Structures are given as C-alpha cells and as structure tokens.
Amino acid sequence: MYDEECLETFLEKQLQLFREEVASNLEEAEAFLEDCMAVVCRNLDEVKEYLEESGMDISGMSDQEVEEASEVFVLPNGGYLIVEG
C-alpha cells in the first residue's frame, strides 16, 4: 500500500509529528503506517476532505497551513501522507 518514496519520506520527517523516532528502517516504517492506518492522498483537496471527515476543523486554514500540519507529510511526487499520531 505504501510505496518506497512514501516510506522514505516518513522515515526522514517522522520527527515533525513524534518526539522520537518510531521507525528506523523501511520495514518498521511500513508496519507503523499500517498499524496507525496512515492515508495517502493524491492532492491537497483529498487531504482537506480527509481531515474534515476525521473531525479536524480546517475552515480557517490556508493551503500552506494544511500542508504544514504536523500529521501531513508532503511527498516528492506531489502527493501527501497523513499520519495521525
């Protein structure tokens, strides 16, 4: 479900959401993301829809603020990974 780019991005940026590393390699990252049911979105509209459906109030947030939310990881391919901590 999570491609290598997604896993590598999470490994590199996991400290934006967690105080300490929760994974140290690709296998641990994949297991962690599966356990917390992380979601991959193709674009920012999907991110906003997901966050709203999960109960987050993003009504006053700009696109940049949504991208900078600690649970949102911007992927190199233009997609997004959402990890609820």
| 18 pLDDT more than 80 | yes
Q: What is the pLDDT of residue 2?
A: 96
Model confidence pLDDT, tens digit, residues 42-63: 999 999 999 999 999 999 999 9
pLDDT digits (tens, 9 = 90+) for 69-79: 999 999 999 99
Place of tokens 């356990």: 35
Q: How do the domains of the chain map onto residue ranges? A: 4-82
> CA–CA separation, 10 vs 83, rounded Å?
9
pLDDT at 76 (0 to 100): 97
Mean pLDDT, range 11-36, rounded to an integer: 97
DSSP the chain: ---HHHHHHHHHHGGGT-SS-S-SSHHHHHHHHHHTT-EEESSHHHHHHHHHHTT---TT--HHHHHTSTTEEE-TTS-EEE---
Looking at residue 67, what is its pLDDT? 96
